[in-house]
Amino acid sequence: MKLCKNEANFCDNFYSRKSFRRFFCAFFLNLVKFCMEIFLDAFDIEQIRKYRPFLRGITTNPLIISKSVDNQSDFYEKLQSILSTFPDLLINLQVTKPDADGMIAEAAKIAEFSPNMIVKIPLTFEGLKAIKEVSKMQIPINGTLCFSLIQAKMAEDSGVKYISPFLGRMEDSGEDIASFVDKLVKSVSGAKILAASIRTARHLEIVTQAKCAAFTCSQSVLDNIFDNNLLVGGLVSFQEANKFSFL
């Protein structure tokens, strides 16, 4: 998808900062062109409701859930509330046991909650053993905590639906995440790359340019896309100049 000449000139004149213009245009045009799936890191109904029109689902992990629940009964209550409020969303829940047998048992339990459950299993040695068995049960799996191409290929061969590289954590350790994601997308064809640990607009730019199938991020990251001084300032200038209405 390409902007026409007039539209491109408008972008050049209006969004004068090169970095913002590049991100803003690339992010949304790629989103439409490649039908990227958006997931939200959340276990809170109000956060989910805000971005519901754009979401394919939500992702969780023990850290995310611990911010929203106090105990196990509270967890089950909120999970049922989310499932009933958003019956068409995919829900990623992560196993908590460290051994393969425990992960397999938890995966079976998670799958009982709803047909829309995606079981997150870490790509450890034990996790990959579990994935081979869980995939035989026709349970959708998200291979999480991916930090290498060999992990990704082993997960793909074991039958996962999604593979989640943790970009923020990789960048913290000095990795070139743009190069890694590009190689990952080109190397894996039997599973969708669901980029995780997304912290900044730059991370979003990287995953859209690499044509990842999906990404997940917090509400604050999505909020920052629209809470931009250039975007807000442009809208205000249009509103102040406006002298008519179509209604």
Domain span at 213: 23-222
Domain with residue 59: its CATH number is 3.20.20.70
120 counts as catalytic:
yes
Residue tagged active-site, from 120, 129, 136, 243: 120
Report residue 168: phi and psi, to 5°.
-60, -45
User: Whole-angstrom Cα distance, residue 162 to residue 112?
Assistant: 19
Is position 127 within any domain? yes
User: Whole-angstrom Cα distance, residue 118 to residue 231?
Assistant: 36
Is position 230 within any domain? no
Count the domains in the chain.
1
Is position 193 within any domain? yes
Q: Digits of tens for pLDDT over the chain (247 positions)?
A: 444 444 444 444 444 455 555 555 555 545 544 579 999 999 999 999 999 999 999 999 999 999 999 999 999 999 999 999 999 999 999 999 999 999 999 999 999 999 999 999 999 999 999 999 999 999 999 999 999 999 999 999 999 999 999 999 999 999 999 999 999 999 999 999 999 999 998 999 999 999 999 999 999 999 988 887 888 888 888 888 887 777 8
Is position 18 within any domain? no
Kindly report whether the global pTM for this prediction surpasses the value 0.85.
no
Put residue 138 in one of left, alpha, beta given phi > 0 → left and psi -120 to 50 → alpha: left
